[in-house]
Amino acid sequence: MRTSLHTSVSAKHPHDDAPDTSAAFRRMAAIPDGPERQRLRQEVVAAWLPMARRLAARFRNRGESLEDLQQVAALGLVKAVDRYDPSRGAFESFAVPTVVGEVKRHFRDHLWALHVPRRTQDLRNRVRTARQELTTTIPGRAPTVAEIAESAGLSEEDARVGLEALETFTALSLDAEVPGADDGYSLGDTLGEADPAIEVLVDREAVKPGLRRLPEREQDILYMRFFRDMTQSSIAETLGISQMHVSRLISRCCDQLRTEVMRDAA
């Protein structure tokens, strides 16, 4: 039995890594689970392992080591062997999408740093494939967005979404150094901070109509006090009036503006 199985496993299809294991699968389907079936299963998996590794190599340079991808592909191969029904066609036509699907699932579940809609992932894959194909046919330059969109059968807007997804497959730490920086400047250092002026923006807009209705002198007093940060004494000296009078005018104007704002908000 071992000799005949070895002969069938060694026979080759047009692909060097696609052995003929049809006899082994028929034998596995005919016998119950046990040592003999497990031995056949292991030999079939070993025979198809080069194909799984070749499929895994298609996904190299995408943020995951080739060794890890080969392990994932091997897991997909084992699933394909366990689920294959010899009455439904050649094993290769069943195994290839199973292995590739396992690798893609690994990327989707483990390497996207944030949840990405399935449609965006699909656009990313289509754009990546189109760009790779165009790169081999367009010498001396990178393909344009329009060319990628046409090749992938997408609109230019969808092509741009796919291209952006290609560049955001994994996340960088905020402690990562900014490219080109030699002083330890990190991505976190580039983040902005909340502007305290935002908190008073709404209030400033609310009092503008009332300010415009005030007499010109009162407008000048409020401007000098709250925008130029002048003291009441400095304002009084500038206008030639008493500091007490300036204080009364400021209080009266503020009360009037507060009343108008509250009335308008009611």
Q: What is the pLDDT along the chain (266 residues), one digit of tens a residue?
A: 443 444 344 444 445 667 889 899 999 988 988 899 999 999 999 999 999 999 998 887 776 778 888 999 999 999 999 999 888 888 998 899 999 988 888 876 665 555 567 788 788 888 888 888 887 787 778 889 999 999 999 999 999 988 887 766 555 555 666 665 555 566 666 666 666 666 666 677 788 888 889 999 999 999 999 888 899 999 999 999 999 999 999 999 999 988 888 887 66
In the CATH scheme, what is the code of domain 2-110?
Answer: 1.20.120.1810
198-265 and 113-171 share a CATH fold: yes
The fold for domain 198-265 equals: Arc Repressor Mutant, subunit A (1.10.10)
Q: Are 72 and 55 in contact (CB under 8 A)?
A: no
Phi and psi for 63 in degrees, rounded to 5? 95, 5
Question: What residues does each domain of the chain span?
Answer: 2-110, 113-171, 198-265
Give me the half-sphere count of Cα atoms (radius 13 Å) on the Cβ side of residue 102.
22
Which residue, chain included where needed, has tokens 């997804």? 165
In the CATH scheme, what is the code of domain 113-171?
Answer: 1.10.10
pTM of the predicted protein model: 0.42
Kindly give, in sequence order, each residue whose CB lies less than 8 Å from that of residue 143, ignoring residues fewer than 6 positions away: 130, 131, 134, 135, 151
Question: Residue 47: which of 86, 89, 91, 103 has the closest Cα?
Answer: 91
